[in-house]
Structure 1
Amino acid sequence: MRRDVFQAIADPTRRAIIGMIAAQPQNLNSVADKFAISRPAISKHIKILTECGLIVINQQGRERFCEAKLAKLNEVSHWVEQYRQFWNAKLDSLEIYLEELQRKEATPLKNKRTAKRKK
């Protein structure tokens, strides 16, 4: 099955694993010890993260260490950025519209005050 980085970060446990090993590479047992789920479940999460390219596993003697490779998260960052720009543009338009409404509401009041003073 072809997995992508979006599938990897969709699960909160996988996001927690990424955050944990991003700070420092850790062996598989250390990772598993930090979660209240079974080791097979952790192994499945690690497998998904490996398939997505977010972590690599290095053998050091009898230990297997997980190391974060976060470059793939740039794909997520680029995807999010396009929506950030979209919403910023929408909010900027809304701000301009609201400012125009405020100006239009303020203008009749000024005209009424000026008209009363002239009488």
Structure 2
Amino acid sequence: MTFLLIALVVLLAVSIFRFYRQRTYLNGLTEEQFREGYRKAQLIDVREPQEFERGHILGARNIPVTQMKQRLVEMRKDKPVYLYCQNSSRSARAAQLLHKKGFKDIYQLKGGFKKWTGKIKTKK
């Protein structure tokens, strides 16, 4: 029982540490803030291709978080990166990977695509 309690406390501490550390390199933006800057940046949808095809922000490229390590060469470290997924959890994982690989200017759409009210594009 004591071991379980210690493990739970350690897990909680690690989660809290990651949350606060993430805030140092990942900037969460409202939809309005996101719109102001994404055209001058790399707009990346980190959802899976079938989700992307059902609808995505106009101008976005699809680089799923599951493929991001292999596709880093498609992204530039000298330009801001604007990420989004369905609700923000996968874009946070993508941001962590990008940060580890030396990307500095990383932004995330708060609430993800499901909260987006702007223009979208769908595949026919």
TM, length-normalised to structure 1: 0.30
Q: State the structure with more CA Rg.
A: 1
By percentage of residues, which structure has more helix? 1
Q: Which has the higher contact order (CA 8 A, sep 6+)?
A: 2
By percentage of residues, which structure has more strand? 2
TM, length-normalised to structure 2: 0.30
